[in-house]
Structure 1
């Protein structure tokens, strides 16, 4: 088998079915990406799949640095509960239960 270099992979081309706003978290089924700009429905844009992003987290949930975190699309928050949530990556810093956000290192 022969492979041909395509791109660095820090961002991926993405064509959404519905419009996506800059910074919006997008579920890719087994991981997430973050829109790198506004993307109109049916038009090509890009998603960041590498990096550390500040994201809203589930209320009353303390998260330790390095803990696996998941995207709860229904609530629009990061949680430590895997259940039916999408793997997001891991906490790049600790977040107290009363913090509104957590730093997330994407799976990449």
Structure 2
């Protein structure tokens, strides 16, 4: 097909304000992914937009499989709280209260 560009599961974008570390959640507009490397602000960085990632979470929350997960950019962690946060995906397995990480399907 002559109009196919790429699969789209990894995109190269300029690192957002503050730069990124490998494994950081990256949100640019409505584009959500996880940085594949460390990059200073504005430097091109590969961002994985599909897959399951282990991310830092609010320790005092219990997650169930399939629960919608949001990113709290201020706290720098994943949460089930919708207010002022960005939907990034869904929990792929239960996460206990307390626990510091949870697995999230992005894309």
TM-score normalised to structure 2 length: 0.88
Structure whose residues are more often strand by fraction: 2
Per mean C-alpha deviation after superposition, the further-off stretch among 15-24 and 74-83 is: 15-24
Query: What is the match of residue 5 of structure 2?
Result: 6
- The Cα of 1:59 is off from its aligned counterpart by 2.3
Query: What is the match of residue 61 of structure 1?
Result: 61
User: 5+ residue gaps in structure 1?
Assistant: none
Query: What is the match of residue 23 of structure 1?
Result: 23
In 2, Cα distance between equivalents of 1:29 and 1:71: 13
Q: Please report the RMSD computed on the Cα atoms of aligned residues, expressed in angstroms.
A: 1.5
- The Cα of 1:63 is off from its aligned counterpart by 0.6
- The Cα of 1:31 is off from its aligned counterpart by 5.0
**Alpha-carbon spacing, 1:31–1:45, altered in 2? closer, same or farther (3 Å):** closer
In 2, Cα distance between equivalents of 1:61 and 1:31: 26
* Equivalences, count: 105
**Alpha-carbon spacing, 1:89–1:7, altered in 2? closer, same or farther (3 Å):** same
User: 5+ residue gaps in structure 2?
Assistant: none
TM-score normalised to structure 1 length: 0.88
Aligned 8 A contact 2:33 2:49 in 1 = yes
